[in-house]
Structure formats: structure tokens, C-alpha cells
């Protein structure tokens, strides 16, 4: 992209056995002007530039195009043009005959991964995870928007409905972020901090899923209604400023391991924390307003080839807005994408840092920062979602992304991450319960893995994501649509 656009821009399922993973890709409208074999600039050096691409400057090399227009632009037949893979699964399955070389305004690109699983605890699992990309403005000055959705249901009446969205309005004037969830839920918790030793194996579908039983796990039932919405307006350069509303209602909480009548009493971390902090352990609410600042220069919200993303949010949860107790929290999300090859824009390094914590007041247990509870549930690959939780969190990840086939149909990733959490000291003398405090960086939990990418829709850069990742005595399989970050 050029000019103005360049300046801006898991109750989870215990699905231990994944029986079927089918690939489906659909598209909302037809378009024209592409070769039948899906040829695209940036691979077939003998092809002429395709009408509709955003750049058309003369060139002698892809290096010169990348230098002038940014990583992701390549030289084809003497002209700079946006890079597109030659083939995708949509075309190979015969689900289209022609397609525009670049995304067209208000034309949806939808990719879904249906899944079937079974376990004794969850019964039969049915559902899917999908991603939709759409341009809300003209390709020359608007970054593609995206929404990632998950719908999972089991015969044990477990339901997950979630949507995470990033919308860029025409000309990138506004960036609108959403994280909406309805969960009829159960999930093991493990206490606060990162010092308890992890142990697990299993399956995760788009970040949602359950791994094998972990010694010391504290199973809980709870339901969640989440409505997070932010709107930020471009003010100058790559800077956006805005506000947001964040609502989380946790209810129907049943702490299944809690037994205060036993001798000695069985006290869970959730119960102890809630009692000390003054929360009803059966239900609580966070409702607050946020002030937000962002720096955004990515060329795509789905699979960037270049740019950065930095988002700082400060949220206040007053009781007059419905929160059970007053509190404030701060969070930061930073990402950067560094190209390694001008000829192959998919060869890049991606870095991700997350940080969040309580700055004042009291925040209920299940609303504290936790691994795998980011909007797309993709952080902490290698550990079960919610494996670590605390009053503050720092998470970092690095990923190498690359093509496996020259036509771009298959790609791969290698990634590594580390996370750390803090916890307060908690004492309940009446029950003989004591938990010592822990500071950030006292314990660091590493993880890493390998991934396969199958390009579903080259116009939106949407790929099927298949990852295997391991942490300390922990391993998981992850299936979803779109890059992890």
C-alpha cells in the first residue's frame, strides 16, 4: 500500500480425539481478471503485471520495490506490484473459476474449519472456527479488516460462541476492535502465578479446547458473557486515539474441588482469593470504560508482511457502572513484522509482546490476566488455556514464517514463547490455607513449536493454521484459521 495507507494502519471442550478436520472455503461474490491457474505476481517472473494491483511503478528488482513501497511489493515484468501467492485451496477445490488479484471493496472472503471430536467428559463435539476478511474502503488506502469466529457445541450442553474482530474503515480513518463471547463453560484452573509445575497433552481448536487431566488441577464450572468494544480514530501519522467499553459477567460458578466440610478442608485457589478479596465466589462482574492509544502500520490485519502494531489501554471499573468492586487495569500489546527476503515477502520474522496487570483496587479471580485468554485465544501455545493466571502478566513470542512450496499453497512456521505471572500472598487461617506471593520473572515458562500453513484464500492471505507446540511437560495440537498474531 502507498501514501496515506502506509502512514496509518475456550465451558472449553475436552476433545481429546479429533476425528475429522475438513477444509471449507467460501467467498461472498465473484470477481474477474485472474488467470485460470491462479497465477499471481511475485512468483512467475515472466508474467505481466495484473490489472488491479495497487502499485505500478517501473522497477529493476524486488529490492527496489520493497525499498520504495514497503516489504510485500515485488518486481514483475519491470513493474512494482503487490505480492500474491500463485495458488490457494479455494482454487484447487474448484470453488471459484475467476478471482480478482486483489481484494475488492465490500467483497467478503470467508474461510472455515469444521471439526468433530469426542471425549467421555464432553460427549460429541461439533463446531467450526473461521475467519472473514473484507475491505471496507478502496485497496489503495484501506487495510483489510477481519473477524475470527468460533462456534462449538457438545452433547453435554457445552457451548462456545466467540467473535474477535478488527475493522478498518475507509481510508483507515477508524480502527474498531471487538471481542464478544458467550460461554457455557467448564475449565480447570491451577492457582495463581507461574510456579506450579505444568503437565498436559491434548487438542485445541482455534485456541479453545481441553487437555488431559493435570495433577493438582482445580476443575470449575462457570459461564461468561463478554462484550469488549473499542473505537480509535486516526489523529496523525500512524497514531490512533480512542475509547472503549469492557463488560465481563462471570456467573454460575461452581468450584468442584472445594469441600469445606472435609477434614482437613479442601480449599481451592479461587475460593481463597475470592474470600480474601471480598468477592462472592459464585458470581461477579467487571464493567468499565477504557482510554486507548495505538500505533498501527501493518499492511494487513490477517497476515502482515510488514509494519508494527502497538496498543496501550487503561481501563477503570467503577461500581457505579456495574462492577462488583472498583479497580483499574493496564494492558499493552505490541507486534512487529520484519521481512527477510524482498523476493519472497512471506519469509519474515514476527514478534509479539503482551503485558497486563492490576494497577489499583481488586479484580475477581477469573478476570485476572491469563494465558490463552487474549481476544483470539492464541497466546501460550504449548499449554492449556488458562494454565497460568495472575495479577500481572508478561508474554513474549517470536515466529519465523516461510513458504514451503514455490506456488505459496503451503507454508510453515517455527515459534518460541515465554510467559511469567505474579500473584499476591493469600492466607485463610480458619482453613489452614496459605499461598505465598510471587513476583513477575520469578518463574518463566517457555514453550515452542512448529506449524503448517495451507493457503485458503490468497486475496485475503487467510491460511489454515495447524500447529503442534510444547511447553514444560506439556504438549498441544492447535487448529484454526488465520495467523496466530
- How many Cα atoms occupy the beta-carbon half-sphere of 356 within 13 Å? 19
Q: Determine the average pLDDT of the residues in 420-429.
A: 91
* Confidence grade of residue 197 (pLDDT, cut at 50, 70, 90): low
Lowest pLDDT segment from 111-120, 149-158, 183-192, 335-344: 111-120
Whether 418 shows a pLDDT value over 70: the answer reads yes
Q: How many separate domains does the chain show?
A: 1
Is residue 85 predicted with pLDDT exceeding 60?
Answer: yes
Of the candidates 287, 294, 272, 233, the one whose C-alpha atom is nearest the C-alpha of residue 425 is 272
Q: What pLDDT is recorded for position 250? A: 97
Query: What phi and psi values does residue 57 have, to the nearest 5 degrees?
Result: -80, 145
Across 259-340, where does the E strand assignment appear? 284-296, 307-317, 327-339
pLDDT-derived band at 91, boundaries 50, 70, 90: confident
In whole angstroms, how far apart are CA 154 and each of 150, 187, 218, 478?
A: 13, 14, 22, 19
121 pLDDT more than 90: no
pLDDT reading at 469 higher than 80: yes
Between the alpha carbon of residue 20 and those of residues 105, 159, 412, the distances in Å are 34, 19, 22
* CATH number, domain containing residue 169: 2.40.160.50
* pLDDT exceeds 50 at position 49: no
pLDDT score of 299 more than 90: yes
Instruction: Look at residue 467 and tell me whether its pLDDT is greater than 50.
Output: yes
pLDDT of residue 39: 39
Beta strands in 190-306 (DSSP E): 200-205, 218-236, 239-255, 284-296
* Structural domain of 183: 3-481
Over range 149-171, report the average pLDDT: 89
pTM of the model: 0.85
**471, three cell numbers:** 511447553
- Mean of pLDDT values over 103-128: 73
- Tell me the three cell numbers of residue 20: 475429522
Euclidean distance between CA atoms 155 and 88, whole angstroms: 35
Q: CA 141 to CA 127: how far, in whole Å?
A: 36
Grid cell locating 332: 499493552
- What percent of the chain shows pLDDT beyond 90? 55
The mean predicted confidence, pLDDT, of the chain is 83
Average the pLDDT over each of 14-28, 64-78, 362-376 and give the range with the smallest value: 14-28
Tell me what pLDDT residue 122 has.
56
Q: Which three cell numbers stand for residue 98?
A: 475467476
Does pLDDT of 383 surpass 50? yes
C-alpha cell at 446: 517457555
Amino acid at each position: 500500500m502507498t501514501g496515506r495507507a502506509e502512514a496509518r494502519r475456550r465451558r472449553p471442550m475436552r476433545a481429546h480425539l479429533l476425528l475429522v478436520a475438513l477444509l471449507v472455503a467460501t467467498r461472498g461474490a465473484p470477481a474477474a481478471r485472474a488467470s485460470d491457474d491462479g497465477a499471481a505476481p511475485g512468483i512467475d517472473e515472466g508474467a505481466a503485471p495484473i490489472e488491479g494491483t495497487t502499485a505500478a511503478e517501473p522497477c529493476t528488482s524486488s529490492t527496489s520495490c520493497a525499498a520504495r513501497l514497503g516489504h510485500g511489493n515485488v518486481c514483475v515484468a519491470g513493474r512494482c506490484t503487490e505480492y500474491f501467492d500463485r495458488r490457494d485451496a479455494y482454487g484447487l477445490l474448484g470453488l471459484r473459476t475467476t478471482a480478482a488479484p486483489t481484494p475488492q471493496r465490500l467483497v467478503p472472503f470467508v474461510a472455515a474449519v469444521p471439526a468433530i471430536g469426542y471425549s467421555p467428559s464432553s460427549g460429541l463435539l461439533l463446531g467450526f472456527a473461521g475467519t472473514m476478511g473484507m475491505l471496507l474502503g478502496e485497496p489503495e488506502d484501506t487495510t483489510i479488516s477481519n473477524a475470527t469466529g468460533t462456534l462449538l457445541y457438545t452433547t453435554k450442553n457445552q457451548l462456545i460462541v466467540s467473535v474477535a474482530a478488527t475493522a478498518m474503515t475507509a481510508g483507515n480513518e477508524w480502527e474498531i476492535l471487538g471481542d464478544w463471547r458467550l460461554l457455557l463453560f467448564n475449565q480447570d484452573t491451577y492457582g495463581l502465578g507461574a510456579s506450579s509445575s505444568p503437565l498436559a497433552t491434548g487438542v485445541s481448536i482455534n485456541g479453545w479446547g481441553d487437555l488431559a487431566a493435570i495433577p493438582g488441577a482445580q476443575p470449575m464450572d462457570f459461564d461468561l458473557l463478554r462484550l469488549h468494544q473499542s473505537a480509535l480514530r486516526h489523529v496523525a501519522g500512524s497514531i490512533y486515539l480512542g475509547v472503549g467499553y469492557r463488560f465481563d459477567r462471570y456467573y454460575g460458578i461452581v468450584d468442584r474441588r472445594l469441600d469445606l466440610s472435609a477434614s482437613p478442608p479442601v480449599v481451592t485457589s479461587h475460593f481463597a482469593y475470592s474470600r480474601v478479596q471480598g468477592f462472592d465466589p459464585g458470581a461477579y462482574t467487571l464493567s468499565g470504560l477504557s482510554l486507548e492509544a495505538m500505533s498501527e502500520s501493518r499492511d494487513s490485519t490477517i497476515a502482515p508482511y510488514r509494519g508494527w502494531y502497538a496498543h496501550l489501554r487503561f481501563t477503570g471499573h467503577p461500581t457505579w457502572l456495574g462492577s462488583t468492586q472498583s479497580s483499574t487495569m493496564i494492558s499493552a500489546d505490541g507486534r512487529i513484522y520484519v521481512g527477510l527476503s524482498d523476493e519472497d515477502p512471506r519469509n519474515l520474522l514476527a514478534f509479539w509482546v503482551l503485558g497486563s496487570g492490576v494497577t489499583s483496587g481488586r479484580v475477581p479471580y477469573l478476570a485476572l490476566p491469563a494465558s490463552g485468554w487474549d481476544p483470539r485465544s492464541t497466546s501460550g501455545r504449548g499449554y492449556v488455556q488458562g494454565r497460568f493466571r495472575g495479577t500481572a502478566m508478561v508474554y513474549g513470542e517470536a515466529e519465523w514464517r516461510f513458504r514451503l512450496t514455490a506456488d505459496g499453497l503451503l507454508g510453515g512456521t517455527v515459534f518460541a514463547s515465554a510467559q511469567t505471572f505474579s500473584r499476591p500472598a493469600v492466607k485463610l487461617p480458619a482453613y489452614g490455607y496459605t499461598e505465598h506471593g510471587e513476583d513477575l520473572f520469578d518463574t518463566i515458562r517457555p514453550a515452542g513449536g512448529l506449524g503448517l500453513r495451507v493457503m485458503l484464500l490468497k486475496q485475503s492471505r487467510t491460511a489454515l493454521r495447524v500447529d503442534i507446540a510444547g511447553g514444560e511437560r506439556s504438549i498441544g495440537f492447535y487448529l484454526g484459521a488465520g495467523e496466530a498474531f
